[in-house]
Chains A and B, each alone.
Chain A
Amino acid sequence: MNWPHAIILPVVLPLMTGALLLLAERRAERLVPAITMLSVLAQLAIAATLAVQAAQGQVQAYLLGNWQAPYGIALALDRLAALMLVLTALVALASLLYARNRDANRGAHFHALFQFQLMGLNGAFLTADLFNLFVFFEVLLIASYGLLLHGLGRARLRASIHYVVFNLAGSSLFLIAVALLYALTGTLNMADLAMRVPLLPAGDALLIRTAALLLLVVFCVKAALLPLYFWLPETYGSATAPVAALFAIMTKVGVYTIARVYTLVFGDGGGLAANVAWPWLAWLALGTLALGAIGALASTRLRGLVAYLVVASAGTLLLALGLGRAETVSAGLFYLVHSTLMAAALFLIVDRVTSLRGEAGDRLQPAPVTTSPALLGAAFFFCAAAAGGLPPLAGFLGKALLLDAAIGSALAVPTWAVVLLAGLGTIVALSRAGSVLFWRSPATPASVPDAARSTPGQFAAIGLLVAAMAAAAAWAGPLHAYTSAASRQLFDPAAYVGAVLGARPVPAAIDIRREMRERGGAKGDKR
């Protein structure tokens, strides 16, 4: 299939489904889960098709409203964007399978918000325009506010206030950076920016660097980098499990936008602001990684622990970007796939474990469990091994690739030290948590409460994510070939710029202006 409009589908489909669901909620409530499921399956199929197209190596541009590129908004699909789309659809499918019939019914509008969230995510991955990126950020944020509040409760309300205020402040900074860039270059199209930023006069050096670094702050708010990650453990720790699993992809939006903007616009060809982000990013990422591991060790609750693992994985990814070479970025993208699946799976498993422990909840202390959760324990062990970066899983390969690629860079020693020590810390934290939860907790064969019994959907969701992780390890070769190609594509902005700016509007079948003139003339004659 090479239908030119396929690129817009990942945005339009969830939008339409979300709108339809808002209507269907009132009239035909029983259809709602089926509609969402169909839509997410279709999105997965579309994302896979687009990935197959992107794997051929060409950047495809789509001109919204048929406007020539720097004037209208363009969408662009390359290998990285396609990879993110597939990953989003996969995590969404698992999250939805898990939420069906159980968590989705704990509040209103879950499915509609879910679709709008997907729309925001897909749009952010596809857009080639900075202001449009802002709009998609807001779409995904406003949906995420609703999803975070899903189920309500004190802790969730408290976390929401922090999360919303923090992100609103971030949005303000985003707008300031965007306005500065527009004032300097007169464009917001990323490909056009890549052409114009190098041409700026030397007098604008300070301003363009300010704009670039302000933008970095905004993306780091999303990606949870060192001084800006404090919202994450609380937010992810208090969201309902399927929502937290979906949020696992949200920090990756920040990582994606950093990878996109700081290679395309402020990369090697960035003129006065060339490679402005990498030195900051690498050191801060090292700090994030270290603190993520320390936070995981210090957590007294299981969900907090997993949330800190998300922080640590964001640190690893940003470190891979911060080293600023095609090989490290390739390793980082490889690790991104794995760590997203891992975080989502862990959030779901933690929720199952918690429901078995009655009043003890997810506190890390021995407490009687109602059944002996053999299968769950195995899944937890698998994900813990994945999180710690143990062979033979993809996490190990990702980290090994990263360490290998870091040799020879100026930061090789701190990178090796921090990545390995953080891995050790993660393993210690998870093995301690696992032994408390599964071995030191006596099984009391009491009657299992209804909420503790897993639905087939919940098993399927965890199984899907675990299987996807295993697949990422089994087909690590092709996946790595794909991420290296994606990374090479990132470091060769000329292809992206050429595709976006070179895309020509489709000639109109009817010349509307002439038609209007003629009709207007005809009307005038009649009168």
Chain B
Amino acid sequence: MNLLIASALGVLTGCGVWLMLRARTFDVILGLTLLSYAVNLFIFTMGRLRVGAPPILDPALPPTLQQYADPLPQALVLTAIVIGFAMTALLLVIALRAALQVGSDHVDGDRDDPNREEASR
């Protein structure tokens, strides 16, 4: 399972970074989304991988660390997911607005527009 998770993390991060370095806003947003998946999975793994262990105290189980999964990374991931989701939504709105207003989805605005330099001054 370690190999599976580690390679999933690697592939997600690699794809995310590659997409993020592209010049179109949509690719960049997809890249950021993939990267945030990778990060969330990473946080989750940092609480150590354990299958079938509950994170909540159960009176039937002896109260030792061997019996339970660490609940804190799960709480952290939850927060990270919510924040990442909100940020992605916001970025989508900004990108859409920029694409509509500028007429191009290039991250630097419209490259071919002769007035670009003028407008940016």
A142 partner, pick from B38, B73, B90, B101, beta carbons under 8 A: B90
> In chain A, what residue has the closest Cβ to B33?
A168
Q: Is the CB of A164 within 8 A of B102?
A: no
Q: Which residues of A contact B87 (CB under 8 A)?
A: 138, 142, 164, 168, 171
Q: A131-B79, A155-B119 are in contact. Are A164 and B101 (CB under 8 A)?
A: no
A157 to B98, CA, bound (A): 6
Chain A 117-153 near chain B by CB (<8 Å), digits 1 or 0: 0000000000000010001001000100100010010
Q: Which residues of A contact B5 (CB under 8 A)?
A: none
Q: Is the CB of A165 within 8 A of B32?
A: yes
Q: Which residues of A contact B72 (CB under 8 A)?
A: 182
B107 partner, pick from A138, A161, A180, A301, beta carbons under 8 A: A161
The reply to whether the CB of B8 lies closer than 8 angstroms to some CB of chain A is no
Q: A165-B20, A165-B28, A168-B87 are in contact. Are A158 and B79 (CB under 8 A)?
A: no
| Pairs across A and B, CB under 8 Å, 12 listed | A142-B87, A154-B101, A154-B102, A157-B98, A157-B101, A157-B102, A160-B98, A164-B94, A168-B91, A172-B36, A175-B39, A175-B43
Q: Is the CB of A161 within 8 A of B98?
A: yes
Q: Which residues of A contact B108 (CB under 8 A)?
A: 158
Secondary structure type dominating chain B contacts: helix
Q: A157-B101, A162-B107 are in contact. Are A179 and B91 (CB under 8 A)?
A: no
Q: Is the CB of A154 within 8 A of B86?
A: no
Chain B 2-43 near chain A by CB (<8 Å), digits 1 or 0: 000000000000000000100001001000100110111011
Chain B 73-103 near chain A by CB (<8 Å), digits 1 or 0: 1001001100110111011001101100110
Least Cβ–Cβ distance between B22 and chain A, in angstroms:
11
A428 to B89, CA, bound (A): 44
Sorting the interface of chain B by its residue count into under 10, 10 to 19, 20 to 34 or 35 or more gives: 35 or more
The reply to whether the CB of A363 lies closer than 8 angstroms to some CB of chain B is yes
The reply to whether the CB of A31 lies closer than 8 angstroms to some CB of chain B is no
- CB within 8 Å of B: which residues of A? 131, 135, 138, 142, 145, 149, 152, 154-155, 157-158, 160-162, 164-165, 168-169, 171-172, 175-176, 178-180, 182-183, 301, 361, 363
7 nearest CB pairs, A to B: A183-B46, A157-B98, A179-B46, A179-B43, A175-B39, A158-B109, A172-B39
A180 to B43, CA, bound (A): 8
A157 to B102, CA, bound (A): 9
Q: Is the CB of B91 within 8 A of A164?
A: yes
Q: A155-B120, A168-B32, A182-B46 are in contact. Are A161 and B79 (CB under 8 A)?
A: no
A168 to B39, CA, bound (A): 12
- Residues 36-85 (chain B) with a chain A CB within 8 angstroms: 36, 38-40, 42-43, 46-48, 72-73, 76, 79-80, 83-84
Q: Is the CB of A158 within 8 A of B102?
A: yes
Least Cβ–Cβ distance between A123 and chain B, in angstroms:
14
> In chain A, what residue has the closest Cβ to B116?
A154
Q: A145-B90, A145-B94, A155-B120 are in contact. Are A135 and B42 (CB under 8 A)?
A: no
